[in-house]
């Protein structure tokens, strides 16, 4: 396995970890709202796979990855089942989920932008689709449980981290030779995740209107 294959595999694992983290976060909401098992699965699948489904549906380059690569659904449904059965709590647990969620925001922003560039899109829609990949699942989740989507404000940098990761992908895509897409995605994901964690620790927010 060469470097390109290896980085592609690492990106896929990060992508699936992001699914797991988002399904766990959805599980916390589902428990608060006293959903049944189907509710856990529906909310979990919408949270964990919604962003990628939105991205692939908008790109219109074939059936979404989340439906053709069965690992995505297995992860989402498996973790939703776990969240339903096991009442998890505690500061360290939440901290771990948040850490993975930050990595997911960066990864999804980067992966989304890369896929859009691969489909021949201009860099500006590519950054939009990267951001939408990262925040779309959470927006659908918040709509379904009737919360104002957290993407609109009132919390530390969130969509911004995904936008940053997507922007790094767009930049590096111009500066690096073909075949480096996997490595580029990893670097961009790391930048996005680091920004997200830093913003969380420092309490960085965008100013309200």
Task: Tell me how far apart the alpha carbons of residues 141 and 25 are, in angstroms, rounded to a whole number.
Answer: 10
Q: Which is nearer to a copy of itself, 4 or 77 (CB)?
A: 77
Please report whether residue 145 would count as binding a copy of itself according to CB under 8 A.
Answer: yes
Q: If residue 10 lies in a helix (H) or strand (E), which one and from where to where?
A: helix 3-32
Q: Which stretch binds a copy of itself (CB under 8 A): 60-68, 107-115, 172-180, 184-192?
A: 60-68
Residue among 6, 13, 74, 171 that touches a copy of itself (CB under 8 A): 74
Task: Tell me how far apart the alpha carbons of residues 5 and 12 are, in angstroms, rounded to a whole number.
Answer: 11
Q: Which stretch binds a copy of itself (CB under 8 A): 10-18, 147-155, 173-181, 191-199?
A: 147-155
- Name which of residues 79 to 118 contact a copy of itself (CB under 8 A): 84, 116
Minimum distance from CB of 29 to a copy of itself (Å)? Answer: 10
Comparing CA positions, the residue from 72, 89, 113, 69 lying closest to residue 24 is 89
Residue among 6, 9, 13, 62 that touches a copy of itself (CB under 8 A): 62
Task: Tell me how far apart the alpha carbons of residues 11 and 183 are, in angstroms, rounded to a whole number.
Answer: 9
Show the binding pattern over residues 118-137: x = contacts a copy of itself (CB under 8 A), - = does not. -x-xx-xx--xx-----x--
Q: If residue 188 lies in a helix (H) or strand (E), which one and from where to where?
A: helix 181-202
Task: Tell me how far apart the alpha carbons of residues 173 and 159 are, in angstroms, rounded to a whole number.
Answer: 21
Minimum distance from CB of 57 to a copy of itself (Å)? Answer: 6
Please report whether residue 198 would count as binding a copy of itself according to CB under 8 A.
Answer: no
CB 165 within 8 A of CB 184: no
CB 168 within 8 A of CB 192: yes
Comparing CA positions, the residue from 124, 121, 158, 112 lying closest to residue 139 is 158
Show the binding pattern over residues 24-43: x = contacts a copy of itself (CB under 8 A), - = does not. ------xx-xxxxxxxx-xx
CA 143, 199, 123, 172 dihedral sign is negative
Binding site for a copy of itself (CB under 8 A): 30-31, 33-40, 42-43, 45, 53, 57-64, 67-68, 70, 73-74, 77, 84, 116, 119, 121-122, 124-125, 128-129, 135, 139, 143-146, 148-149, 151-154, 158-160, 163, 205-209
């Amino acid at each position: 396995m060469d470097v390109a294959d290896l980085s592609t595999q690492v990106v896929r694992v990060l992508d699936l970890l992001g699914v797991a983290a988002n399904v766990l976060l959805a599980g916390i909401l589902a428990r608060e709202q006293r959903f049944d098992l189907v509710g856990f699965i529906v909310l979990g699948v919408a949270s964990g796979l919604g962003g990628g489904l939105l991205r692939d549906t908008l790109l219109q380059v074939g059936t979404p990855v989340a439906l053709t690569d069965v690992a995505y659904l297995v992860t989402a449904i498996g973790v939703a089942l776990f969240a339903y059965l096991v009442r998890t709590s505690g500061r360290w647990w939440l901290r771990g989920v948040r850490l993975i969620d930050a990595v997911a925001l960066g990864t999804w922003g980067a992966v989304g932008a890369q896929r859009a560039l691969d489909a021949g899109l201009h860099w500006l829609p590519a950054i939009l689709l990267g951001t939408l990949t990262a925040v779309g699942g959470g927006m659908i989740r918040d709509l379904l449980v009737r919360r104002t989507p957290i993407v609109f404000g009132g919390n530390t940098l969130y969509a911004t981290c995904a936008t940053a990761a997507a922007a790094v992908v767009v930049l590096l895509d111009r500066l690096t030779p073909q075949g480096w897409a996997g490595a580029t995605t990893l670097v961009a994901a790391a930048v996005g995740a680091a920004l997200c964690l830093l913003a969380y620790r420092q309490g960085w927010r965008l100013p309200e209107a």
